[in-house]
Structure 1
Amino acid sequence: MNRLILLSLSFFFVFTSFSTAQIVGENYAIEQQLIASTKQLNQFFKRFNGEEDVKGRTFESDDKQYRSEKLRKKYLSILFDGEDTDITTETKLNFIERVTREDKPEFLNLHSKGWFAVVNTTFLYKGQQMPLVLYMKVQQEGLGYEWVIADIAFDPYKTMFDKQRGETKVFLHPMSHELDFMNLRKALLKGGVPESYTPADFEPDLLTVFLYEVKMGILQFQTVNRMNYHFFSIDGWYFSLTNFNRANDNSGWLISDLLQINASQKEDLLKIIYEK
């Protein structure tokens, strides 16, 4: 009986030790993966700038490795989406050389110019769930900074204020003042086209419409579906960040698009991103 108990205990301790070792090994692997992945945007900035070590510890500004060119090149090379074959190796190397250039290195932070967030959301609109895009940017406010809604894109708004053109355009007769503008009654009918009676250069402020309908309860926020960041902070370059949730080191916030652009191409890209 004693031998049986001893054998059972021995088996239990061997099994437990194996299980514990396995769990420790798995936890270590997960920990290493979390260390390697770029979990937060602020961590992306630190790695882009060379301001932390491989274990995620922030360097002091007087540390010799702080923002070192060698460290930055190492980090920058792993800040790309490794599964994206559209970004060529040459483009990556040119970009890395540009931002680590000894005479004019480029660094990023929350207050950098020329970057913004695109937040894809769902709103309830007139009883129907619909996608709506918010364009967010950081602005200075008092002694600090804040995120603000800079613009929106919403399908129902895109044609809401389309002005008539050409011979079919309705208009107020040039002698309307002689009628005390009584013809406004016809022009401003509900369901009509009041935008046709505005100046030729009229551009609707859709952000104001959005804010009004939110305040009136016509638009009701439901959830954030996904988001990404767009950077025009480096002269002559554009890149975007996407959050990849993968079970490997190449995860978190990574560069998913990278283009070398001129001023004209920048304007075209902005129009595409803002759905103009």
Structure 2
Amino acid sequence: MKVLVWLLAFFAFHPVFSQIFQDEVTANFAYQVKQIDEFIERFNNKENTLIKQYVKKKDTTAQFKREQMIKGLFNASDTSWKKAEILQFIGQVSNTEDPVYLNFFDANWYAEVNCAASYKGKPSTITLILKIQREKNGMSKWIVVSAIADFLRLPIRKDTTTGLNPLSHATDFMNIDLLTTDKKNIRNYLPNHYQDEVLSVFLYEAQHNQLVIKQVNKITYHFLQIDGWIFTVNRFSRQTRNSGWLLSKLLPVTVSAKQKYAHEKLNLPDEMCQFQTSYR
């Protein structure tokens, strides 16, 4: 607190330094990627981006190469980036003969929203996976396509030997009560390919006031619509020009690896894990 008071007093009596400080704050704000929409605009090198307006006020002759715009969207504080992969990725999407752009209404990008919640009166967490849905009237909205929480899933099999004996019919299925009493091994009474109906459980618990979402803790955006790649975007809150919503992870992947990622990381149902070889 004393340091802050000293700085304010210093800038008050030294207008030159105060102006420099204010200019740097203004520059940081201009360069900051403030919304995911702005991330998409910069990725596509749109003319109306705020950063271009800011730079052109200072230099009307400034040129903006798409490659440089995309490089500026990477989290520069991460030292684990593989330069060759970044260059390959940027070269692919900025290829002048066959460029790749992002669209807010693309089908295969998702918001992973980690939330603080209350489940049956106890503090808990739940992760919701959302995507954009376009309506027939031209409007759009975010919708929940999956949810991730331990209380939404059936327990993992404890004893694979249990189940309804193949001769149960001979006793008129007199042991059918196991379906409701053997809770730890309930998966043994279901098909091997059964997928948890997490959204159905989510809606049931919410409608019966067992589940209450309190607040959003963290958001990660997953972009899966570019051939051969997956990348994530997170918010980095800091007083630098490289701040805001930035590219936090870049993964070169095959189609099958992308399907696995969608199923295991985002918990998407099988019908949403089918990817084509082109998204242009």
Normalised-by-shorter TM-score class = 0.7 to 0.9
Aligned-pair CA distance for 1:175: 2.5
* Partner of residue 107, structure 2: 113
Q: CA RMSD in A?
A: 3.0
- Residue-pair matches, total: 250
* Partner of residue 240, structure 1: 232
Q: 1:8-45 CA distances to partner (integer Å, 9 max, x unpaired)? A: xxxxxxx9984554444322211110101111111111
Report the Cα distance in structure 1 between the residues aligned to 2:157 and 2:198, rounded to whole angstroms: 15
Are 2:97 and 1:103 equivalent residues in the alignment?
yes
After the TM superposition, which of the residue ranges 17-26 and 258-267 deviates more from structure 2?
A: 17-26
Normalised TM-score (structure 1): 0.79
Report the Cα distance in structure 2 between the residues aligned to 1:55 and 1:203, rounded to whole angstroms: 46
Percentage of matched positions with identical amino acids: 28
Corresponding letter in the other structure for 1:36: Y
Report the Cα distance in structure 2 between the residues aligned to 1:71 and 1:90, rounded to whole angstroms: 19
Measured at CA, do residues 185 and 256 of structure 1 come closer, stay the same or move farther in structure 2, by a change above 3 Å? closer
* Partner of residue 26, structure 1: 21
Corresponding letter in the other structure for 1:86: S
Report the Cα distance in structure 2 between the residues aligned to 1:79 and 1:16, rounded to whole angstroms: 32
Aligned-pair CA distance for 1:233: 1.3
Aligned-pair CA distance for 1:91: 1.3
Alignment of 1:1-276 (within 5 A): 18-52=13-47, 55-57=51-53, 71-142=65-136, 143-158=138-153, 160-162=154-156, 166-170=160-164, 174-175=168-169, 179=172, 184=176, 187-189=179-181, 196-274=188-266
Stretches of 4+ moved more than 6 A in 1? none
In structure 1, runs of 5+ residues without a counterpart are 1-14, 59-64
Aligned-pair CA distance for 1:275: 5.8
Normalised TM-score (structure 2): 0.78
* Partner of residue 271, structure 2: none
Aligned-pair CA distance for 1:237: 1.0
For the residue of structure 1 that corresponds to 2:118, the secondary structure is strand
Aligned-pair CA distance for 1:203: 2.4
Report the Cα distance in structure 1 between the residues aligned to 2:258 and 2:92, rounded to whole angstroms: 18
> If you compute each CA radius of gyration, which structure gives the higher value, 1 or 2?
1
For the residue of structure 2 that corresponds to 1:84, the secondary structure is coil
Corresponding letter in the other structure for 1:51: K
* Partner of residue 58, structure 2: none
Corresponding letter in the other structure for 1:55: I
Aligned-pair CA distance for 1:270: 2.6
In structure 2, runs of 5+ residues without a counterpart are 1-9, 55-60, 269-280
Measured at CA, do residues 217 and 102 of structure 1 come closer, stay the same or move farther in structure 2, by a change above 3 Å? same
Report the Cα distance in structure 2 between the residues aligned to 1:126 and 1:17, rounded to whole angstroms: 54
Corresponding letter in the other structure for 2:85: T
